[in-house]
Amino acid sequence: MSNEAVVQYLNSIRESYKKANRRGKANILENAVMATKRSRKHLIRALGRPRNRPTVRPGRKAVYGPELLPVLKAIWFLMEQPCAKKLKILLPKILPAFTKRSPVPADLQDKLLEMSPATMDRMLKVIRIQRGIGTTKAPTSSWYKSAIPIMPKDWNVTEPGYAQADTVSHCGEDASGAFASTLTLTDIDSHWTEMRATWTKRHGGIVDALRCIEKSLPFRLSTVKFDSGSEFMNYEVVNSLRRHGEGTRAKPITIYRSRPYRKNDNCYVEQKNLTHVRQFIGYDRIENQNATRLLNELYRDLWCPFLNFFMPTFKLIKKERIGSRIKKTYEKPRTPYERILASAAVTDEAKEALRLRYESLDPIELKYSIEEKLKLLMRIIREEKQSEELKLAA
């Protein structure tokens, strides 16, 4: 007997079951067990319920109702969909600025601040991220193998200034021709990250982007580690970083390289390539120089300040092997700005300049400006793509 037939059968005998005496109920139950193949206890509970009784969820009453979801989702999307543990740290900082533009009742604000990360995870959905293709290759000559030492892992980094760098190609599905790239540099200790857009990967653009990033950093750059791509392993980039003296920098920057085909050697910058570039720009092809300049302004003036001053990140403290498992311990999420302020290696003048800049920034206003420029950038990319398709069709 199907479930629908069982429900119909029980509905037909429910009234007679309720009116019957003890012996009558026993007879009805025996017949119902034979007809439905259900257990006696199950039938007693089913026949004792009123017909079409509304289902009540077992357990305690929900503390956080559906009225919180629109506010939580709006803040989550504004802050680039962080994980719940980061969102918990972000809410007290973002909520006052958010409520100025979109009023939220005081009781809902209190509930949002009290909500645990696990509850946030249950209320929010995860967005899937696509994967792209790689276009970097090692240079044909091997001069760099003796000139630039290999540094497999970055152990015992306890102060800012030790960075990793990599490039992300905005080539779409075709790696031929000229297209834009993003140079990403991440500080290992503070997670301070800077991105700059370059037109192609020629050494001149990479050198200019590295100089621009070095000037914008709130600390002195001591070492930089690259992969063995030809955009880094050339005389111009290496000499530019090692140059020091009057008019340049006080000390040369030490250069290291990772092992070929070992992306985990540059794990700090590799993960930023996903979260800071791919999830932000996507996988579209950018072959317009005006779009490249606009993307560079977006990185320098809006996106990097937003990430470095307001977006908290996890930092691995230690790894411990327990049998076949590896237990990882992380510190409480903090922003790169907070880590710089807590570092004894950064000068007081640099910290004071950072504080003044932080006080002048509004995270919600930054995010709205980012969205406007991003829409303009995507419009330029789509128009370029449509014009290319029309040329091919003709």
Cα–Cα dist 2/7, whole Å: 9
Cα–Cα dist 227/271, whole Å: 14
pLDDT in the model for residue 131: 39
Report the CATH fold assignment for 145-393: Nucleotidyltransferase; domain 5 (3.30.420)
Which among 219, 213, 167 is positioned nearest to 194, based on CA atoms? 213
Q: How many Cα atoms sit within 13 Å of 305 on the Cβ side?
A: 22
pLDDT in the model for residue 150: 84
Contact 291, 262 (CB under 8 A): no
At 375 the three-state DSSP class reads helix
What DSSP element (H or E) covers 325? strand 325-330
Tokens representing residue 329 in the block: 């311990």
| Parts of the chain with a pLDDT under 50 | 126-134
Instruction: Report the chain's terminal Cα–Cα distance, integer Å.
Output: 66
Residue whose structure tokens are 């040369």: 252
How is the chain split into domains, by residue range? 3-48, 66-123, 145-393
Give burial (CB, 10 Å; 0-12/13-18/19+) of 326.
exposed
Residues with Cβ within 8 Å of residue 235, at least 6 apart in sequence: none
Cα–Cα dist 87/226, whole Å: 32
Tens-place pLDDT, residues 125-162? 644 333 344 455 555 556 666 678 888 777 788 899 99
Cα–Cα dist 225/173, whole Å: 28
**What is the pLDDT of the chain when averaged over all its residues?**
86
